[in-house]
Amino acid sequence: QLSDSRINVSDARVRTAFGKPARIDLRIELSSCSQLQTTIGQIRSMADVLDIARTGIG
């Protein structure tokens, strides 16, 4: 879905631990606050997504 919206993922990191959900940290480049809200909604609606949070700017 991110590629459909032409959102650039500049960094991706995945952490796994036995018996726990994987954690995926993405750094994405967005052009506006509305694009951020749309993107958060798209990710939240994906199957198996437990939580999503914006953690910083920069």
pLDDT in tens, 12-58: 999 999 999 999 998 888 888 898 898 888 888 888 898 998 887 65
pTM (two decimals): 0.71
Residue 39 CB neighbour total at 10 angstroms: 19
What does the domain layout of the chain look like in residue ranges? 1-58
Query: How much is the pLDDT for 15?
Result: 96
DSSP for 1-58 reads -TTTTT-EEEEEEEE--TTS--EEEEEEE-S-HHHHHHHHHHHHTSTT----------
User: What confidence score (pLDDT) does residue 8 get?
Assistant: 86
pLDDT band at 1 (very low <50, low <70, confident <90, very high): low
Distance linking the first and last C-alpha atoms of the chain = 23
What pLDDT is stored for residue 46 in this prediction? 86
CA 27 – CA 8 distance, rounded (Å): 9
